[in-house]
């Protein structure tokens, strides 16, 4: 087999307008546009979805609570490029997500202005820390986020509304089983 | 973004890390990518998650064969949606395995060259429309019991994939049960058709839960590390106790003369499973193993031009702008 694996994009889904984006998993795609289409097909076969973000996986700087406790003076990952390097070293917007509970998932909690992923995470730890401390933190530059176009939300997400049979509530099997049982007694 | 290298540490430190790791699991914390984990935990998870992903992908084939022959437009739409879901579930699971440092390409390669295993249930043929109903009702219900357990497992990315999958699998089970109810309450020919499907799928479905606990060497460590919280035999018994009375209500019988209800324990007891058949199918010699692998390889080869076109387009975009 002579395939080349396509880059991986992390996918964040917003269930309803006003709710924070949440990590749902990842897709492989050659570019952000295809990543968004793949993300729609993989993660939005049913309602609810109001918007999707895709972010190159290698641009996400992540630390778990355990890693932060082990080395509070963290270094950037060697493997991490943060996408096209921002040589200007100027401050830019980074999105911050964290997982506050033992179960649950990465959820957007805000943004910081920083010149590097390490600086962004340091700021996030100062600004958004809570008690108990979140279990995981992710930061990534806003400029590398590709977002679904709100003007195309109808064509992207509304088709999921027309297929009620995708929901288990569309089948009255419990009632049918009860009727059959009653009629045989 | 995921660091999964397992550093070599001295045994004393390692045992301390192991104790912390097991304490976290005991407290109900999820292990996340980046956290320390024993090499064996990672190995077991990779084995389970990749097999699970492959099962979703191969699982599209037996039912996919009936999309063009569904008896109505509504049934065709439902079956299409279900098979699409299986493709999506495979993608969720490959992602979960990637967080442990496996690449999707190497996992697909292992499937296509026959090294990887997948659930043996998909190596049986779908001979009639009733099989589509019975797969949804029995096979997907068996899968739901296993997946509901895994949705509580100690590894965060696997647990989250399972939560999404379980919500969707309930539709799979109900659409199957709906078909079985229709046929079981239909004409004598329909009833005979669904009984025949039950007869063929009953034992392979019981085998889905895996070998008896006494023959399942991985179970103790999986339970200890919170990957599984129930054993193969416990899950199998839960399945039997729920499905047998339901099938009896529908006037259907099971192909097991030894099947008996034990008043004392409240459990349905079955005859012995044919484990020779189980191992024969697992090792590649079931009714459809070769056909399934051939279909996967053909699909992969037929899709090569799409992957090439995507790569060429991405190259042009990168160079042209």
Question: How confident is the model over B71-88, as pLDDT tens digits?
Answer: 999 999 999 999 999 999
Contact of A40 with chain B, judged by CB distance below 8 Å, is answered with no
Q: In the predicted model, what is the mean pLDDT of residues A150-164?
A: 87
- Is a pLDDT exceeding 80 seen at residue B258? yes
Q: How many contacts, defined by CB atoms under 8 Å, are there between A and B? A: 132
Confidence of residue A184 (pLDDT cuts 50, 70, 90): confident
What is the spatial distance between Cα B209 and Cα A122, in angstroms, rounded to a whole number?
47
Confidence of residue A159 (pLDDT cuts 50, 70, 90): confident
Q: In the predicted model, what is the mean pLDDT of residues B284-304?
A: 95
What is the spatial distance between Cα A9 and Cα A32, in angstroms, rounded to a whole number?
8
Q: What is the DSSP letter of A18?
A: T
What is the three-class DSSP state of A27? Answer: strand
CA angle B174, B50, B115 (to 5 degrees): 120
Confidence of residue B3 (pLDDT cuts 50, 70, 90): low
Q: Beta strands of A21-170 (E only): which ranges? A: 22-28, 51-56, 61-64, 92-99, 107-114, 136-141, 146-147
Structure tokens that stand for A86 in this block: 């921002």
Strand partners, A64: A136
B28 contacts in chain A (CB < 8 Å): 102-103
Q: Please check whether residue A41 is in contact with residue B108, taking contact to mean a CB–CB distance below 8 angstroms.
A: no
Confidence of residue B206 (pLDDT cuts 50, 70, 90): very high
What is the spatial distance between Cα A65 and Cα B31, in angstroms, rounded to a whole number?
11
The candidate with the shortest Cα–Cα distance to B89, out of B139, B61, B52, is B52
Q: Beta strands of chain B (E only): which ranges? A: 260-262, 267-269
- Is a pLDDT exceeding 50 seen at residue A24? yes
* Residue A92: Cβ within 10 Å count: 17
Q: In the predicted model, what is the mean pLDDT of residues B185-207?
A: 98
- Is a pLDDT exceeding 80 seen at residue B320? no
Question: How high is the pLDDT of residue A88?
Answer: 58
Q: Which of residues 103-162 of A touch B (CB under 8 A)?
A: 103, 105, 135-136, 138
| H or E segment and range at residue B297 | helix B289-302
Q: In the predicted model, what is the mean pLDDT of residues B119-139?
A: 97
Contact of A26 with chain B, judged by CB distance below 8 Å, is answered with yes
Contact of A71 with chain B, judged by CB distance below 8 Å, is answered with no
Q: Which region among B10-24, B36-50, B255-269 has the lowest average model confidence (pLDDT)?
A: B10-24
Question: How high is the pLDDT of residue A155?
Answer: 87
Question: How high is the pLDDT of residue B318?
Answer: 80
Question: How high is the pLDDT of residue B266?
Answer: 96
Q: In the predicted model, what is the mean pLDDT of residues B284-305?
A: 95
Nearest chain A residue to B307 by CA distance is A3
% of chain B exceeding 70 in pLDDT: 96
Q: In the predicted model, what is the mean pLDDT of residues A139-164?
A: 91
Structure tokens that stand for B37 in this block: 């984990």
Question: How high is the pLDDT of residue A1?
Answer: 38
Contact of A68 with chain B, judged by CB distance below 8 Å, is answered with no
Q: Beta strands of A78-158 (E only): which ranges? A: 92-99, 107-114, 136-141, 146-147
SS3 content of chain B, % helix, strand, coil (to 5): 70, 0, 30
Question: How high is the pLDDT of residue A87?
Answer: 54
Q: Which region among A87-101, B55-69, B280-294 has the lowest average model confidence (pLDDT)?
A: A87-101
SS3 content of chain A, % helix, strand, coil (to 5): 35, 25, 40
Higher pLDDT, B319 or A40: A40
Contact of A75 with chain B, judged by CB distance below 8 Å, is answered with no
Rounded to whole angstroms, what are the CA distances from B249 to A62, A162, A168, B12?
A: 53, 34, 21, 59
How many alpha carbons fall within 13 Å on the CB side of residue A70? 11
Question: How high is the pLDDT of residue A47?
Answer: 82
A170 contacts in chain B (CB < 8 Å): 171, 174
Q: In the predicted model, what is the mean pLDDT of residues B285-291?
A: 95
The candidate with the shortest Cα–Cα distance to B34, out of A84, A134, A20, is A134
- Here the ipTM equals 0.90
Q: In the predicted model, what is the mean pLDDT of residues B288-302?
A: 95
Q: In the predicted model, what is the mean pLDDT of residues B28-35?
A: 94
Question: How high is the pLDDT of residue A82?
Answer: 47
**Chain-chain contact of B91 with A24 (C-beta, under 8 angstroms):** no
Query: Is A153 exposed, middle or buried, given 0-12, 13-18 or 19+ CB atoms closer than 10 A?
Result: middle
- Is a pLDDT exceeding 60 seen at residue A78? no
What is the spatial distance between Cα B239 and Cα A72, in angstroms, rounded to a whole number?
48
What is the three-class DSSP state of B153? Answer: coil
Confidence of residue A154 (pLDDT cuts 50, 70, 90): confident
What is the spatial distance between Cα B75 and Cα A70, in angstroms, rounded to a whole number?
55
- Is a pLDDT exceeding 60 seen at residue B5? no
Q: What is the mean pLDDT of chain B?
A: 93
Q: Which region among A28-32, A130-134, B152-156 has the lowest average model confidence (pLDDT)?
A: A130-134
Query: Is A16 exposed, middle or buried, given 0-12, 13-18 or 19+ CB atoms closer than 10 A?
Result: exposed
A6 contacts in chain B (CB < 8 Å): 307, 310-311, 314
Nearest CA distance, B184 vs chain A (angstrom): 11
Question: How high is the pLDDT of residue A2?
Answer: 43
A176 contacts in chain B (CB < 8 Å): 178, 181
Higher pLDDT, B314 or A55: A55
Nearest CA distance, A39 vs chain B (angstrom): 10
């Amino acid at each position: 087999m002579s395939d080349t694996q396509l880059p991986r994009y992390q996918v964040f889904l917003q269930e309803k307008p006003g709710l924070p984006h949440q990590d749902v998993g990842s897709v492989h795609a050659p570019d952000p546009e295809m990543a968004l289409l793949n993300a729609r097909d993989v993660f939005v076969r049913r309602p609810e979805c109001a918007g999707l973000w895709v972010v190159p996986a290698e641009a996400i700087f992540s630390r778990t609570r355990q890693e932060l406790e082990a080395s509070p003076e963290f270094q950037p990952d060697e493997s991490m490029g943060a996408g096209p390097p921002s040589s200007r070293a100027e401050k830019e917007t980074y999105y911050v997500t964290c997982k506050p509970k033992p179960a649950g998932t990465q959820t957007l909690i805000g943004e910081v202005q920083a010149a590097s992923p390490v600086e962004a995470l340091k700021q996030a730890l100062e600004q958004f820390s809570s008690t108990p401390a979140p279990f995981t933190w992710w930061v990534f530059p806003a400029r590398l986020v590709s977002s679904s176009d709100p003007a195309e939300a109808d064509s992207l997400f509304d088709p999921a509304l027309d297929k009620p049979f995708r929901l288990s509530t569309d089948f009255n099997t419990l009632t049918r089983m009860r009727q059959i049982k009653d009629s045989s007694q | 973004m995921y660091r999964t290298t397992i550093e070599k540490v001295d045994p004393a430190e390692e045992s301390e890390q192991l104790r912390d790791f097991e304490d976290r699991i005991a407290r109900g914390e999820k292990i996340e990518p980046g956290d320390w984990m024993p090499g064996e935990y990672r190995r077991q998870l990779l084995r389970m998650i990749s097999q699970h992903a492959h099962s979703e992908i191969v699982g599209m084939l037996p039912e996919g064969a009936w999309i063009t022959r569904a008896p109505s437009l509504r049934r065709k739409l439902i079956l299409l949606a279900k098979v699409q879901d299986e493709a999506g579930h495979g993608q969720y699971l490959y992602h979960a395995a990637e967080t442990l440092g496996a690449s999707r390409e190497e996992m697909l390669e292992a499937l296509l060259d026959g090294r990887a295993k997948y659930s043996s249930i998909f190596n049986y043929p779908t001979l009639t429309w009733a099989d589509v109903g019975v797969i949804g009702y029995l096979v997907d219900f068996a899968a739901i019991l296993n997946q509901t357990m895994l949705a509580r497992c100690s590894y965060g990315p696997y647990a989250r994939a399972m939560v999404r999958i379980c919500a969707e699998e309930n539709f799979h089970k109900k659409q199957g049960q709906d078909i079985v109810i229709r046929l079981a309450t239909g004409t004598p020919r329909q009833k005979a058709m669904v009984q025949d499907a039950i007869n063929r799928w009953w034992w392979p479905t019981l085998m889905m839960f895996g070998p008896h606990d006494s023959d399942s060497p991985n179970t103790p460590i999986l339970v200890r590390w919170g990957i599984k919280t129930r054993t193969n035999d416990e899950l199998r018994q839960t399945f039997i106790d729920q499905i047998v009375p339901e099938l009896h209500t529908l006037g259907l019988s099971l192909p097991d003369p030894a099947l008996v209800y034990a008043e004392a324990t409240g459990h349905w007891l079955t005859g012995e499973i044919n484990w020779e058949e189980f191992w024969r199918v697992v090792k590649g010699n079931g009714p459809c193993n070769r056909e399934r692998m051939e279909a996967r390889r053909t699909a992969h080869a037929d899709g090569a031009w799409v992957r090439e076109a995507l790569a060429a387009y991405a190259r042009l975009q990168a160079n042209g702008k």
